[in-house]
Amino acid sequence: MTDAPEIASLPLRLEIWRPAGPGPYPVALLLHGCGGLQPMMARYARALQGAGAAAVVIDSFAHRGIGRTAAQLTVCTGLRLHGHERAQDLRQALDWLETQAWVDPARITAAGWSHGGWTIMDALALAGDDPAPGGPAERLAAVLLVYPYCGPPALTRSRGWGRLAPAVTAVVCGKDRVVGSRAPLRALQRLQADGVPVATHLFEDATHSFDDDAASDPRTRYRADLEARVADLLVGMAGGSAGRLPAQGRE
């Protein structure tokens, strides 16, 4: 193992954190929020690496030339790069994983925070509409959504995911003043009604970005204890047995 990630450019920039040994390992693709890469992404990646899974952090901004300030002014305000547009990053990363001998293709997870959750959900909604089977999104065994944006123009609540039904674990925050809790819960209920296995964790006292100790938004409050719970969920999904979901509940 190493304390520094490997870097791959596709030209999409990927940070790869792998355990020791040749693999194959379970892999989790991590998609950051609208503000770009934050230190929390490396912490989650190291947690996966330490548990024997690989983490691939997708940087959606480097190849687009979007800096921190531009991200906050344009992506976070909805002026640029909606979820369905960013979905191509997830598809490209999944295609790249298919070429890597260290990847266990049966155990690929995608995890997204806020805008990253929107991206994963839109990618699955678009793939579910595609009549041709075998697309990249169908390689996902599980999905973790952490305070995902599900308001307009997100696609899941109106479209669902068609024939796709990866195991979903979602974290929704009771004091989220950025994306709220109502829209995510309604989107998740739509998926459950369609037969998607969904485990929802309602963190009633948590704000948006509760796991981001570098957040600049005054509506957020960092909670190291809840970050640890999300890390446990992520590690369990990425390296756990297929078909076994965390218990649904309030935290």
Output the domain CATH number for residue 234: 3.40.50.1820
* Structural domain includes residue 190: yes
Nearest one of 201, 223, 219 to 211, comparing CA atoms: 223
Residue 29 vs residue 1, higher pLDDT = 29
pTM (predicted TM-score): 0.94
CA 251 to CA 249: how far, in whole Å? 7
The total number of residues shown for the chain amounts to 251
Which residues lie below 8 Å from residue 203, measured CB to CB, with a gap of 6+?
171, 172, 173, 174, 210, 226, 229, 250, 251
Residue 2: predicted pLDDT: 60
CB 168 within 8 A of CB 143: yes
- Which range marks the domain in which residue 196 is found? 6-250
* Structural domain includes residue 110: yes
- pLDDT of 44 higher than 80: yes
Residue 130: predicted pLDDT: 81
Which residues lie below 8 Å from residue 136, measured CB to CB, with a gap of 6+?
90, 91, 94, 95, 127
Residue 231: its H or E element: helix 224-239
Q: How many domains is the chain partitioned into structurally?
A: 1
CA 145 to CA 31: how far, in whole Å? 10
What mean pLDDT is predicted for residues 222-232?
Answer: 98
pLDDT 10s digits, 102-126: 999 999 999 999 999 999 999 999 9
Helix (H, G, I), strand (E, B) or coil at 178: coil
Tell me how many degrees the CA angle 29-35-37 measures, rounded to the nearest 5.
45
Q: What are the φ and ψ backbone dihedral angles of 72, each rounded to 5 degrees?
A: -65, -35
* Structural domain includes residue 1: no
Which tokens go with 83?
């979820």
- In the predicted model, what is the mean pLDDT of the chain? 93
* Structural domain includes residue 45: yes
- Alpha-carbon distances of 106 from 25, 165, 210, rounded to whole Å: 10, 14, 31
pLDDT 10s digits, 133-179: 778 899 999 999 999 999 999 999 999 999 999 999 999 999 999 99
Q: Could you tell me the strand order of the sheet in which 6-9 lies?
A: 6-9, 13-17, 54-59, 25-31, 103-113, 142-146, 167-173, 198-203, 249-250
Helix (H, G, I), strand (E, B) or coil at 17: strand
Hunting for tokens 């024939």 — which residue is that? 163
CA 87 to CA 140: how far, in whole Å? 14
* Structural domain includes residue 230: yes
Beta bridge partners, 7, equal 15
